[in-house]
Amino acid sequence: MDVILPNLGFLLSGLATTAVLALISIVAGTVLGIVLGTLRYTSVPVLGQAAAIYIEFTRGIPLLVFLFLFYFALPALGGYKVSAYVAAAQGFSFFIGAYLAEDFRSGLRSVRPQLKQAARASGLTETQVFRHIVLPIALRRIIPTLFNQYVRLFKFTSVASVIGVSELTGRAMLVNAREFAPIAIIVTLALTYLVCCLALSSIGRALSHRFTVRT
């Protein structure tokens, strides 16, 4: 404890960075996942195939390499500068978006064709059927899967320390370099992630309970 307490403020602000980074990536990744998943579901020509290629591509690349892509390769290619923090947020969002897209697609596909037919029979257009029937049912059904992905992403953010983002893991390693108390510091670090992940999955469980779709 005597190594943690003096550094508490420093570590807590690292945790805040981690939380904000995770939150941004969750929101952006979810939006991307819905868009890509919908393109896949409706098999829009060209865009649907582009989405499929993007998803395959992303899922075949290690997360760290993907971050390098956004931190080094793309800025070099496009001739722009980017902070480690922004590159990490971009990398995580695009990374998790590819996984979420497949979850959204399977959620959308879980809606029975007969139900869509009934909605059409009442005069709803295809867009209205999607917006009022298919999408809300799919979203509700995939809440548990979604939160599993969010928990994964939360843990993934520790990788951002490699490109120099000063988030929780990065700061813990700095403290360790100064104090050299690996057991206390790394156990605290691990427990902090664990508690956050447990909190995140209990939110998921509560939401999934609240919005369960019984048939």
Partner 1 sequence: MSDRPMIEIESVSKWYESFRVLSDCTTAVGRGEVVVVCGPSGSGKSTLIKCVNGLEPYQEGRILVEGVEVGAKGTNLPELRAGIGMVFQHFELYPHLSVLENITLAQRQVLKRSKAEADERGRALLARVGLAEKERQMPADLSGGQQQRVAIARALALDPKAMLFDEPTSALDPEMIHEVLAVMSELAAEGMTMMVVTHEMGFARRVANRVVFMDEGRIVEDVETEAFFTAPESERGRDFLSKILNH
DSSP 8-state code for residue 111: S
Give which of 100, 105, 73, 99 is closest to 87, Cα–Cα.
73
CB 26 within 8 A of CB 99: no
Token pair in block for residue 1: 């404890």
Q: Does 214 bind partner 1 (CB under 8 A)?
A: yes
Q: Does 164 bind partner 1 (CB under 8 A)?
A: no
Give which of 17, 55, 20, 19 is closest to 36, Cα–Cα.
55
Closest CB to partner 1 among residues 56, 126 = 126
First to last CA, the chain: 52
Q: Which residue has the tokens 């922004």?
A: 86
Subset of 122-161 contacting partner 1 (CB under 8 A): 122-125, 128, 132-133, 136-137, 140
Q: Does 109 bind partner 1 (CB under 8 A)?
A: no
DSSP 8-state code for residue 160: G
Q: Does 197 bind partner 1 (CB under 8 A)?
A: no
Closest CB to partner 1 among residues 125, 202 = 125
Q: Does 110 bind partner 1 (CB under 8 A)?
A: no
Q: Which of 115, 174, 200, 207 is the binder for partner 1 (CB under 8 A)?
A: 115
Interacting residues toward partner 1 by CB under 8 A? 114-115, 117-125, 128, 132-133, 136-137, 140, 211, 213-215
